């Protein structure tokens, strides 16, 4: 009898071991599979996108108007565009690419619901900056999306359509403000805590992106930034991100700006940990299009981030050592339709 009882107890013990052992409390397995922190989930999407900086299929994120026109008119093209024009209805009516759909960035989530399967979304706007917000978020959400460089100002120089927004923005007014002294980040911060009832990375990102865009995407002009820092002495309110390669940063940058290496620094185990949660983060690049993509992401993961409008094109346009990517009017005025 004792021998039989021992075998039974041994079998029960083995069963207990197989299912995790007797006496194991919740503390032994504190995080169930699939319950990663919301920030970490969305950061995984951002880590991939801002490392590769391509569409999900590996295509370039930014395309020129000439490339778009070539794809639209080629007899055989692998690209089928679904064109979203993010300008106001009144300006859309003045002239837009044939077949384009007018959309409001504040309705971003509902716009996504109408995108057909199997298309490449071509985002365009006035200057490429609103469109860049949409482009980054769409690609992280799994859509095939591209930004048309310089927006409708890159499609046509007709002032009735372009409104000469780029022509009026470029200049050298703040060239003398830029410095060559290197600034670095040496304080690490905890990542923001995201309040959400969503569970998947894509759902969390979409939910937070919609809330951000509905309130109006965040931007700041060089004039406003200069006034607040140099005239109002509010420089401590800002953390400025320079998104340049070393050569352009060394040639001149906004005082105090910290250089983030493109395709590397936005990774959560790289420079992202140096971004403060208690300051306004201003991101700038050459044209404001890449910084807009970054800012759409940073705001969606809990930071208070602003894109510097027009980048250094609006600060030191004539300085070819710093402003290595410049706006220029299109070589051809591609056709538009009105109404």
Closest CA to 37 of 304, 268, 263: 268
Residue 322: closest CA among 256, 245, 262: 245
Query: Could you give the number of structural domains in the chain?
Result: 2
Q: Do 65 and 185 have their domain in common?
A: no
Q: Looking at the structure, tell me whether residues 210 and 266 fall in a common domain.
A: yes
How far is the CA of 241 from the CAs of 238, 255, 306, in angstroms? 10, 11, 10
The closest alpha carbon to 307, from 229, 241, 228, belongs to 241
pTM score over 0.85:
yes
Q: Are residues 179 and 280 in the same domain?
A: yes
SS3 311: helix
Spell out the per-residue pLDDT of the chain, length 339, in tens: 333 334 443 343 333 434 343 333 333 333 344 457 999 999 999 999 999 999 999 999 999 999 999 999 987 777 899 999 999 999 999 999 999 999 999 999 999 999 999 999 999 999 999 999 999 999 999 999 999 999 999 999 999 999 999 999 999 999 999 999 999 999 999 999 999 999 999 999 999 999 999 999 999 999 999 999 999 999 999 999 999 999 999 999 999 999 999 999 999 999 999 999 999 999 999 999 999 999 999 999 999 999 999 999 999 999 999 999 999 999 899 999 999
pLDDT of res. 77:
75
Residue 54's beta-bridge partner residues? 60
- Residue 273, classified by CB atoms within 10 Å of its CB into exposed (0-12), middle (13-18) or buried (19+), is middle
Range of the domain at 117: 38-167
The pLDDT score that the predictor gives to residue 78 is 76
Domain ends where: 116, 143, 167?
Answer: 167
The CATH number of the domain holding residue 183 is 3.40.250.10
């Amino acid at each position: 009898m004792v021998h039989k009882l021992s075998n039974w107890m041994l079998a029960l013990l083995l069963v207990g071991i197989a299912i995790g052992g007797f006496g194991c409390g919740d503390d032994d397995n504190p995080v169930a599979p699939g319950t990663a922190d919301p920030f970490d989930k969305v950061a995984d999407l951002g880590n991939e996108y801002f490392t590769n900086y391509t569409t999900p299929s590996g295509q370039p994120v930014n395309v020129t108007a000439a490339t778009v026109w070539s794809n639209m008119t080629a007899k055989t093209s692998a690209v089928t565009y679904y064109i979203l024009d993010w300008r106001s209805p009144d300006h859309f009516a003045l002239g837009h690419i044939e077949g384009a759909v007018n959309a409001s960035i504040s309705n971003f989530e509902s716009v996504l619901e109408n995108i057909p399967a199997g298309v490449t979304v071509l985002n365009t706007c006035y200057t490429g900056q609103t469109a860049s917000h949409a482009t980054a978020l769409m690609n992280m959400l799994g859509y095939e999306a591209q930004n048309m460089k310089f927006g409708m100002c890159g499609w046509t120089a007709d002032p009735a359509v372009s409104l000469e927004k780029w022509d009026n923005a470029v200049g050298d007014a703040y060239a003398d403000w830029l410095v060559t002294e290197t600034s670095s980040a040496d304080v690490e911060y905890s990542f923001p805590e995201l309040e959400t009832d969503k569970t998947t990375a894509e759902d969390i990102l979409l939910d937070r992106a919609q809330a951000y865009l509905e309130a109006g995407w965040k931007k700041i002009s060089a004039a406003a930034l200069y006034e607040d820092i140099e005239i109002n002495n509010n420089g401590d309110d800002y953390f400025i991100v320079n998104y340049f390669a070393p050569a352009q940063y060394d040639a001149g940058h906004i005082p105090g700006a910290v250089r983030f290496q493109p395709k590397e620094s936005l990774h959560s185990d790289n420079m992202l940990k140096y971004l403060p949660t208690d300051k306004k983060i201003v991101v700038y690049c050459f044209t404001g299009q890449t910084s807009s993509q970054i800012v759409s992401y940073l705001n969606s993961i809990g930071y208070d981030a602003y894109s510097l409008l027009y980048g250094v094109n609006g600060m030191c346009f004539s300085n070819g050592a710093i402003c290595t990517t410049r706006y220029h009017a299109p070589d051809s005025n591609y056709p538009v339709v009105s109404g």
